[in-house]
Structure 1
Amino acid sequence: MMDSIYPWFNDAWIAIHGNEKLPHALIFRGKEGIGKYNFAIKFAKSYLCQKPLSNYLPCESCSSCKWFPDSHPDFKLVAPIENEDDEPSKRKTVRKKNILINQIRELSEYLELSAHQEKGRRVVLIEPADSLNQAASNALLKILEEPPENTLFILVTSQAQKLIATIRSRCQLLDLRSPSLDEARSFLVDQKIAYEDSLLSYTGGSPFNAIKELENQTEREIITQLLSQGHNIDITKVNYSMLTQGLDWTLNMIQKWIFDLLLSFHAQQNYYFKNEEKRIHSLAKQINLDALLLYTNELNELKKIASHPVNQELQLQNIFIKYKQIFETL
């Protein structure tokens, strides 16, 4: 957990504490990988702290701070239940993870209990809130329609549009800005993390995603090498070694490559693959725009089922066959 507020969240931290009276429910919205969860945890801790500091940070010495988060009776975290297969193979198949209705039912039972501290405050943190399935969303809505007294709900998400409209309408939105490139660089340096600027570009400037991606360098290099071959791609090279992080991760990388291809086609600079600009620029001269746009739509549709337990190697081969065809249709 962070000891202080990340610099790019300072304004949000001041703004949220500037409210004389908080609403019963907040949505913390921001780009993936910028530290939203840590910000929410720090805020929940300060909200429950018995002796918060003048800058609103928790004191770290009261009983509430010492309990937080795992043993605090007035703090409840609701998160998706991990559901990963047990295959001993090198590939990783992660099924879609949702917050289920049983979890919200358990939350409802928890809220029937009295608060432990004298202030009577409680915090419910739901993260990521966009993982609520339909039944769980409806059950949460009923709670938000008649919220328990002195209970603050915090919904953290990078995809607020996935929340049902009736939940969004009952929450106050707080936008958490992304760090600037200089802020992201400074953060990684302070953490003593060795990285390349190209990695920050690849993650869209998200420092925490950059940290996660450090261990995926080999997979990125393999896929980049294949994509850079364009029409000459060797489909026989497409295999399970490219699925060690799951099909969803591989699809995300291909979508970023396609986005940069489209930018280069329109004579704009790359956004994600800064160090591949020359190769992408060369490939952009060979593409058929209609085929590229159609392929983009197909990737978006496939992304919806990427976490399903299907034959992922076959899916991946089809993806690269269709990628090859955006160059063949000229």
Structure 2
Amino acid sequence: MFDELLLGKDAKASLEAFLAKPAHAILLTGQRGTGLTSIANLLAKELLGSKNLENEQYFRLLASEKGTIPIESVRDLQGFFALTVPGNSAIKRVVVIDDADTLSTEAQNALLKTLEEPPQGSVLILATHDSKRLLATIRSRTTELAIPAPSKRQTADWFIVKGYAPADIERAYLMADGSLRQMQAILSGKSSTDTDTIRAVLAGTSYDRLLYVDGMAKDKAAANEFVDNLVRVATVSLERAANQNPTTMTRWQSVLRASTTAQDALEKNGNTKLVLTDLMLSL
């Protein structure tokens, strides 16, 4: 059932064991791009016996709104858990909380009450790339399952089977630093940031770089994607410079420092236009 996802044998076995005997709450952890969202949705489908979650009335998805999941979203679940569900199935309702680390402190405390007294026939699936941002009491009341990132060879083989050329896969891997979601977007042409854009930004003058700010600032998701990809390119390029061309290390260290600073600022909901302006002037 997990063949559509790139998972190791141990991860598949753990997920299958969970489905065979579901706990009231599971916490999926792993680095960005390992497919946590896809795994969470697939678990929800299997638990509910549903093919399309969009039309499933006994499924709820909580996701970040402007960088956080507010307490109101968690409170709204009380009415959902009170729904009467016909049939005799053991699991009647499923909630997926994507990027659970963006739950506000108030929202986490409200969720804790649900975890302490789990509604009968309900399962909560939390997915996070930074479990340390969750309350220890939240983590202790869930079954935690770490999803390891696949190796570069496994990733390449998986995309080759899908029909992509090895050279394109290598390029996407460099840009995405192995992130499956980003690689898929790049290879399918759905990524709004490509290597040409990054090269143009790095090669241009400060004035040239600032011309990109207004367009990116209008789409925070695109801004985040650009900065994330810049961090990945700088990281990989710095590693290559250390082994092949040490004279360029200072340049890539500067790019990595500026891009990680921007990444942190965006994660903290800094003003997108100001963050991008500072980044472009720092490159």
Which TM-score band (shorter chain)? Answer: 0.7 to 0.9
- The letter of the residue matching 1:182 is R
Residue by residue over 1:105-127, the C-alpha shift from the partner in whole angstroms, topping out at 9 and shown as x without a partner, is 21111112233331241322111
Structure 1 equivalent of residue 273 of structure 2: 311
Structure 2 equivalent of residue 156 of structure 1: 127
Contact in 2 for aligned 1:261/1:283 (Cα 8 Å): no
- The letter of the residue matching 1:316 is L
Residue by residue over 1:194-230, the C-alpha shift from the partner in whole angstroms, topping out at 9 and shown as x without a partner, is 5340211221222321122344577532332443x5x
1:22 aligns with 2:22: yes
- Shift in Å, 1:136: 1.8
- Shift in Å, 1:10: 4.0
- Shift in Å, 1:171: 0.8
Larger Rg: 1
1:184 aligns with 2:155: yes
For the aligned residue pairs, the C-alpha RMSD in angstroms reads 3.3
- Shift in Å, 1:139: 1.3
1: distance between equivalents of 2:150 and 2:273?
Answer: 38
- Shift in Å, 1:240: 3.6
- The letter of the residue matching 2:54 is D
1: distance between equivalents of 2:239 and 2:129?
Answer: 24
1: distance between equivalents of 2:31 and 2:72?
Answer: 28
Residue by residue over 1:139-179, the C-alpha shift from the partner in whole angstroms, topping out at 9 and shown as x without a partner, is 11111111112221110122222222221111111111222
Structure 1: gaps of 5 or more residues: 50-64, 82-95, 269-276, 324-330
2: distance between equivalents of 1:158 and 1:297?
Answer: 17
Structure 1 equivalent of residue 61 of structure 2: 77
Contact in 2 for aligned 1:73/1:116 (Cα 8 Å): no
1:253 to 222, 229, 238: 229
Contact in 2 for aligned 1:5/1:39 (Cα 8 Å): no
Structure 2 equivalent of residue 201 of structure 1: 174
- Shift in Å, 1:4: 3.4
Q: Secondary structure at the match of 1:123?
A: strand
2: distance between equivalents of 1:153 and 1:225?
Answer: 44
User: TM-score under structure 1 normalisation?
Assistant: 0.69
Q: List 4+ stretches of structure 1 deviating above 6 A.
A: 291-294
Q: Secondary structure at the match of 1:76?
A: strand
2: distance between equivalents of 1:12 and 1:247?
Answer: 32
2: distance between equivalents of 1:70 and 1:25?
Answer: 21
2: distance between equivalents of 1:295 and 1:9?
Answer: 35
| Cα pair distance change 1:9/1:42, threshold 3 Å | farther
Identity of aligned residues (%): 24
Q: Secondary structure at the match of 1:238?
A: helix
Residue by residue over 1:41-69, the C-alpha shift from the partner in whole angstroms, topping out at 9 and shown as x without a partner, is 222222233xxxxxxxxxxxxxxx35x42
Q: How many residues align?
A: 272
Q: Secondary structure at the match of 1:173?
A: strand
